[in-house]
Every structure is written in structure tokens, then in C-alpha cells.
Amino acid sequence: MSITYKQAGVDIDEADKFVRIISPMVKTTFRKEVLTDIGLFAGLFKLNTRKYRQPVLVSGTDGVGTKLKIAFEADKHDTVGVDLVAMCVNDILTVGAEPLFFLDYFATGKLSAEKASKVIKGIVEGCKQSGCALIGGETAELPGFYRENEYDLAGFAVGVVEKSEIIDGTKIEEGDAIIGLASSGLHSNGFSLVRKVLFDIGKFKLEDHIPELGCSLAEELLKPTKIYVKAYFALKNKVKIKGMAHITGGGIPGNLPRIFPDGISAKIDKNSWDIPPIFSFIERVGNIDKKEMFRVFNMGIGYVFVVDSNDTKKALNILNRNEYKAYLIGEVIRGKGKVRIV
């Protein structure tokens, strides 16, 4: 008796259906530099050498983490793709890179073309927000490897920056201003603690409406990560940007020092911005120490610019005009690479 690949758990017809569904969406992200169509073994992208005389390619990779568990349980899959793109492009942006193209890896135990296409819809949206092209990816159906109705995501972003315009933090000095851009909420970090606190300790359910949040837990927890590409390009060449940090796992204390030169620290005023209510909710339900909250979560600041103090007001005005909530959250001080939150 013969056996088929489908009987072993891999459905080639479903994979073909998936490609047919996503192809029109993916093509909407294509830039003029994309030289290939969907379906080839590799994606080709022509670098614009007129725009960049000494181009330096910048790459980054990331995932969405256990936030995916929330998507599974809520059966809502159209926002985690935005998270995936955001986590990658926000990282490469910190050196001043323009995101060029993106690739994704989607792996599941049993492929559902309809569900997977919702994930790709989010990835397409993230690519549009950041101006990069989705030029390829991999869809892996791995029966027996993942639990039923679960999947994993990884993303890969490539950008470019002019060599002379690389921003690496080496020019940061005492007195520089630290400007924070508001996050959309939790973004994609700390969800192992979130799930422990809200579901194991608090016994909440995703469908529960939380008055102080103004929405259900599912709606709040699945808010996609904010993408900050347009914020950087709104400021570029208008103010002196000395450093940028993407506030992910580790919060402000764990990420800001990554761009400091020797002998530099920061003082952050935690009362200088509006902390979204989701953080105080988690803190209260889990009885979490404030220091731990700042060490795990972004606490309402998703991205940081370090600028010359003379450019502070101008930078804040530009960012707020471009629909980014921006705050002067602190200053650069002398020290040993630590962040002091007061």
C-alpha cells in the first residue's frame, strides 16, 4: 500500500494555496529595486549606488517570542506580523540604516493557508510602515514538531547606511538630551512574565474587559509593536542625532547603555512621560517591584534618541508634528555606563 506526503502530515496543495493567497499582498511591498518575482529560489535587490556612495549593509534578525501564545489563544493572527517586522527594522534603524528588504520564516505543524495568510498580512503591513520590500521567506510544515494550531516566526531585515553617516553612539557626551518616543504598549517583550502574572496569578482570561485599559486583555496584549523608521527620517539632517536605542527586553536600563561610550551614563526621570496603564495593571496584579518593571518592560518608551542639547526643542517639535509622542526623558551624565532612574 503506497503512502503520500499528505498522509505523513505535509500538504503540498495547501502550501500552493497559501502562495496564491499571499502573492498579491506581498507584491504591494515591492520597491523599484526589487528584481525578482515571487517563487524563485532567491530574492534580488539592486542597491541604489547613486544615493549611497559608500554603502554599508546592515542586517538584523528577531522573533515575536511568547506573545505568539496570546495570538494562538485569541485566534487573532493579523498583528504579530507587524511585531516581527518592527523588532527587526527598529534594531537596524539604530545605526541610521534605511530598511531595504525583509524575509520571514514561518513554521507550523500543520499548515492552514487561511491562518498563515493573516500572519503574512501583518508582515506586509509592517513592511509598508517601514518602507522595505518583502522579497522572500520560508514556509515550513513540520508535522509532530509543533503543537496543534501553533506556529513560530522569525524575521530578517537588511538595510543600508552611508558609511560616513553611521550612528554608533561614540559622539555621545555629558549634557546631551535623551528623548523618548512612546510605545504602543508592551510591544514584544516580557510576555513570559505577563502570562505568569495575568493568567496564572491573576486568573484573568483574554476576553475579560479591563476598565482601566478600556478594552479586553486580548486587544491590549496584541497591540502591535510601533515602528520608528519615519521618526528617524523626519529628524535626519535637521538635528544632531548622536545615538539611538530600541527599547526591547531589558528595558531602558538594559538597552540605553549599549550605545554609550566609556565614561558615560544617563539619568532618566520616570515622571517625564505617560506610562500606559497596562504596566501599572501588571505591576499591581503581580506585586512586582518597580525596579523589576523597568528592567523587564519598555514602560511606555519604545525608542530613544540622544541628541545635542541645543536641538532638544526642535527635535521634540518635529517628532510630535509627525504623530510620534515624544518626551524629554533625561540627560547624559558622567558615569560607568549605568542608567539611573529617578
- pLDDT, residue 241, reads 98
Extract the C-alpha cell encoding 52.
549611497
Extract the C-alpha cell encoding 14.
495547501
- pLDDT, residue 1, reads 73
- pLDDT, residue 322, reads 85
118 and 246 share a domain? no
CB 198 within 8 A of CB 282: yes
159: which strand partners? 58, 99
- State the residue range of the domain holding 273: 177-341
β-sheet with 301-307: strand ranges across? 241-246, 301-307, 177-182, 326-334, 264-268, 339-341
CB 98 within 8 A of CB 137: no
- pLDDT, residue 308, reads 97
Closest C-alpha to 298, from 267, 274, 332, 322: 274
Extract the C-alpha cell encoding 84.
516581527
Q: Which helix (H) or strand (E) holds 277?
A: helix 277-286
- pLDDT, residue 132, reads 97
- pLDDT, residue 137, reads 95
- pLDDT, residue 47, reads 94
> Does a structural domain hold residue 144?
yes
Among candidate residues 119, 138, 165, the one where a domain is terminated: 165
What pTM value is reported for the model?
Answer: 0.96
83 and 192 share a domain? no
> Does a structural domain hold residue 2?
no
**DSSP E strand stretches across the chain:** 55-63, 98-108, 133-141, 151-162, 177-182, 209-210, 215-216, 241-246, 264-268, 301-307, 326-334, 339-341
159 and 215 share a domain? no
Extract the C-alpha cell encoding 65.
517570542
- pLDDT, residue 150, reads 95
- pLDDT, residue 219, reads 98
- pLDDT, residue 50, reads 87
Number of independent structural domains in the chain: 2
CATH number of the domain bearing residue 30: 3.30.1330.10
CATH number of the domain bearing residue 326: 3.90.650.10
How far apart are alpha carbons 267 and 329 in whole angstroms?
9
255 and 234 share a domain? yes
First to last CA, the chain: 72
- pLDDT, residue 205, reads 97
- pLDDT, residue 39, reads 84
- pLDDT, residue 326, reads 97
How far apart are alpha carbons 169 and 189 in whole angstroms?
24
161 and 189 share a domain? no
- pLDDT, residue 259, reads 97
Q: Which amino acid is at 321?
A: R
Q: Which helix (H) or strand (E) holds 192?
A: helix 191-195
Q: Is 67 helix (H, G, I), strand (E, B) or coil?
A: helix
How far apart are alpha carbons 186 and 79 in whole angstroms?
13
- pLDDT, residue 160, reads 98
Tallying the residues shown for the chain, one arrives at 342
CB 190 within 8 A of CB 296: yes
> Does a structural domain hold residue 172?
no
pLDDT of the chain along its 342 residues, tens only? 789 999 989 999 999 999 999 999 999 999 999 999 988 899 999 998 889 999 999 999 999 999 999 999 999 999 999 999 999 999 999 999 999 999 999 999 999 999 999 999 999 999 999 999 999 999 999 999 999 899 999 999 999 999 999 999 999 999 999 999 999 999 999 999 999 999 999 999 999 999 999 999 999 999 999 999 999 999 999 999 999 999 999 999 999 999 999 999 999 999 999 999 999 999 999 999 999 999 999 999 999 999 999 999 999 999 999 889 999 999 999 999 999 999
279 and 161 share a domain? no
